[in-house]
């Protein structure tokens, strides 16, 4: 009796488990056995630039399936399909007549016209489904930022990944009740319609992106660099207008066979990599010192080629020094000694407080995957010698995006913005679903920003940034040449050469950062490797905006003299007389190399370089 009771409890328990615990799973299995379904694939939303130009779209095609048990006239089907699609009659006949299968794929990637031509014949046993494939009208344009999808059109990188939830949509299906052989049990067919993905409108401008990418490709080819990048940001609302990077790849032919290279070329260095940005970082040191009243335009600085801090000798980039100079001249000369003095005047605690205000110690919140925060020494461990180096852009590493964001605040009146690429998300009917980002916080006084703009204008008009200028327009900016580190020390011959500039003084709207990673050869200063391309981008941008750059009939041309073998003192005097800005490398007295080379016809303004080993 006890055994019977035990067995009864086991049976009841099993029934309870099957019906209540495992019931939903078993019901699903049963439904799958009783029905045949065809997928109704959702159309992936499009990605557009700020002007509504399509950057990533979806091609629709159709697949043809046959259910052999439903086929009534296999020869007629084979004749129709082979005629419309140009397929071999025998192969089609074999497929639609195949036994032992419930469903067989007859053809894929049919056009809508082909699908309708077959459908209108009303042949029993044939079914259709919609397929989609991603395509990019401009090939490699914006390849890192846009990203790409997998074969199922799920986002894998870039915008395609970050906004995949909006773009993807929801697939549907067509359900038909059948028996175990696949024969219809009744005439009913149930449709679960797909929901197409939403459209994403970016802040990026295709034309500005093209200007930036063309400049990157040109710099890459000329300087044989490891990589070149350019970031253009709207200093008023924080929208990213262009994010270019070379080398790239064709989004319509993603090189998936070399995963390592694909990953390297897909990574957005401006967002994911941190660098010692060198002298472009000096803009922030200037801003902090001015905002805290630690420097005025009347202050003077003396540079003998180095400073001794905490018993350590720290060199200026110009080993022979800049001598006595005003604050404006120190900015134009990018004098390391002057910026060491500024940092030491401000002090560690105040500098780090501003770094936090500028967002350097955290991520910016940009809607791009993979963003990293800056790398700073722990505040409590910073010594004066460290602070001095930080003042001119060493011993502190930030992402290029973080630098652009902070510099935008320096020139736009003092407002720190959240950089972003989303302008809006729209459903298939065109209704707005989500806006982009906006707003900001004040980090500097307006008068500080105005003074900074004035000083940075001088860098382009009179200093090392001359090649970034556009005749007739007020452009400000700062050059940067940073040594790179590797294997525990300075990597010989490896530099990050950069220029960051803004347009214009009265209405600073466009901020451009251009940087060349490890240019090859003698040329590595940002003034010669990066600044000219920013000038080119600004000239194209002005033309695009309908503000043609001014031209002058009296542009002065000079023929470069032969300086090789001459003394530095003689060369410096001659360069000043010719109106050339002179950059040097080394501490020797005799020139062994010059650029441009002797005999080159140069149009002023021009930056010259000499080597003094």
In degrees to the nearest 10, what's the CA dihedral of 136, 142, 144, 145? -100
> Phi, psi (5° rounding) for residue 317?
-65, -25
The answer to whether the beta carbons of residues 123 and 76 sit under 8 Å apart is yes
What CA–CA distance (Å, rounded) separates 117 from 132? Answer: 20
Question: CB burial class (10 A; 0-12, 13-18, 19+) of residue 79?
Answer: middle
Cα 203 to Cα 232: distance, rounded to the nearest angstrom: 11
Contact 535, 422 (CB under 8 A): no
Question: What does the DSSP 8-state code read for residue 45?
Answer: P
Other Cβ atoms within 10 Å of 257 Cβ, number: 7
Q: Which residue has the tokens 């940002």?
A: 526
Preceding omega of 424 cis (within 30 degrees of 0): no
In the numeric block, the tokens 């067995």 are attached to 7
Clarify whether 188 is annotated catalytic: no
Distance of CA 451 to the CA centre of its chain: 31
Q: Quick check: 335 and 322 in contact, CB under 8 A?
A: yes
Would you tell me how many other CB atoms lie within 10 Å of the CB of residue 569? 10
Residues 6+ apart with CB under 8 A from 372: 271, 272, 273, 274, 363, 399
Q: Which of 194, 229, 246, 279 is catalytic?
A: 279
SS3 601: strand
Alpha-carbon gap, residue 291 to 358, rounded angstroms: 13
Q: Which residues, 6 or more positions from 374, have their beta carbon under 8 angstroms from its beta carbon?
A: 274, 355, 360, 361, 396, 397, 398, 399, 402
Q: Any idea which residue has 């395509």 for tokens?
A: 135
Of 329, 325, 323, 321, which Cα lies nearest the Cα of 305? 321
> From its phi and psi, is residue 182 left (phi > 0), alpha (psi between -120 and 50) or beta?
left
Q: Count CA within 13 A, CB hemisphere, residue 24.
A: 2
How far is 319 from 602, CA to CA, in rounded Å?
27
Q: Using CA atoms, how far apart are residues 312 and 310, in angstroms rounded to an integer?
A: 6
Nearest-angstrom CA–CA distance, 179 and 36: 9
Of 273, 232, 144, residue with least CA distance to 419: 232
- Cβ proximity of 172 and 40 under 8 Å: yes
SS3 at position 209 = helix
Compute and round to an integer the Cα radius of gyration of the chain: 33
CA distance 194 to 474: 54
The answer to whether 404 and 231 are in contact (CB under 8 A) is yes
d(CA 451, CA 91): 78
The set of catalytic residues is 279
């Amino acid at each position: 009796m006890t055994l019977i009771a035990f067995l009864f409890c086991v049976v009841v328990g099993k029934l309870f488990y099957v019906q209540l615990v495992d019931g939903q799973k078993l019901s699903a299995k049963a439904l799958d056995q009783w029905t045949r379904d065809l997928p109704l694939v959702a159309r992936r939303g499009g990605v557009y630039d700020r002007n509504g130009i399509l950057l990533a779209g979806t091609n629709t095609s159709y697949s043809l399936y046959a259910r052999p048990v439903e086929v009534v006239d296999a020869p007629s089907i084979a004749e129709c399909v082979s005629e419309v699609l140009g397929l071999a009659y025998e192969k089609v006949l074999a497929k639609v007549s195949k036994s032992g299968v419930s469903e067989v794929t007859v053809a894929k990637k049919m056009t809508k016209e082909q699908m309708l031509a077959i459908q209108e014949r009303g042949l029993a046993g044939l079914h259709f489904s919609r397929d989609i494939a991603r395509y990019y009208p401009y090939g490699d344009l914006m390849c890192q930022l846009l990203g790409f999808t997998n074969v199922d059109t799920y986002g894998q990188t870039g915008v395609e990944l970050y906004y995949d939830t909006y773009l993807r949509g929801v697939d549907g299906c067509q359900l038909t009740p059948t028996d175990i052989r696949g024969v219809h049990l009744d005439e009913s067919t149930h449709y679960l319609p797909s929901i197409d993905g939403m459209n994403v409108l970016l802040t990026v401008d295709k034309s500005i992106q093209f200007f930036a990418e063309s400049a990157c490709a040109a710099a890459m080819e000329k300087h044989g660099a490891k990589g070149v990048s350019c970031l253009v940001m709207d200093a008023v609302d924080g929208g990213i207008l262009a994010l270019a990077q070379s080398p790239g790849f064709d989004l319509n032919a993603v090189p998936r066979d070399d995963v390592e290279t694909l990953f390297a070329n897909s990574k957005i260095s401006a967002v994911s990599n941190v660098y010692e940005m060198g002298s472009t970082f000096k803009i922030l040191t200037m801003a902090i010192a001015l905002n805290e009243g630690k420097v005025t335009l009347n202050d003077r600085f003396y540079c003998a080629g180095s400073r001794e801090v905490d018993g350590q000798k720290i060199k200026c980039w110009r080993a022979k020094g800049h001598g006595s100079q005003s604050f404006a001249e120190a900015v134009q000369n990018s004098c390391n000694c002057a910026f060491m003095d500024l940092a030491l005047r401000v002090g560690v605690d105040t500098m780090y407080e501003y770094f936090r205000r500028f967002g350097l110690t955290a991520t910016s919140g940009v809607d791009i995957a993979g963003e990293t925060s800056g790398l700073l020494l722990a505040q409590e461990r910073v010594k004066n010698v460290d602070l001095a180096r930080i003042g001119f852009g060493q011993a502190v590493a930030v992402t290029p995006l973080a630098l652009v964001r902070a510099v935008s605040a320096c020139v736009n009146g003092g407002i720190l913005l959240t950089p972003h690429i989303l302008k809006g998300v729209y459903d298939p009917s065109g209704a707005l679903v989500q806006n982009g980002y906006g707003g900001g916080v004040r980090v500097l006084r307006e008068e500080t920003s105005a003074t900074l703009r004035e000083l940075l204008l001088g860098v382009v008009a009179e200093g090392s940034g001359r090649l970034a200028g556009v005749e007739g327009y007020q452009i400000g900016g700062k050059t940067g040449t940073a040594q790179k580190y590797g294997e525990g020390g300075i990597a010989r011959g490896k530099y990050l050469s950069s220029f960051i500039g803004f347009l214009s003084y009265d209405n600073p709207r466009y901020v451009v950062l251009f940087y060349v990673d490890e240019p090859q050869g003698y040329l590595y200063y940002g003034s010669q490797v990066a600044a000219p391309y920013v000038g080119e981008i600004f000239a194209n941008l002005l033309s695009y905006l309908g503000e043609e750059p001014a031209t002058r009939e009296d542009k002065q041309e000079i023929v470069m003299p032969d300086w090789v073998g001459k003394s530095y003192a003689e060369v410096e005097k001659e360069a000043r007389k010719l109106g050339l800005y002179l950059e040097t490398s080394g501490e020797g007295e005799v020139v062994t190399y010059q650029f441009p080379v002797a005999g080159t016809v140069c149009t002023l303004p021009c930056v010259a370089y000499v080597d003094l080993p």
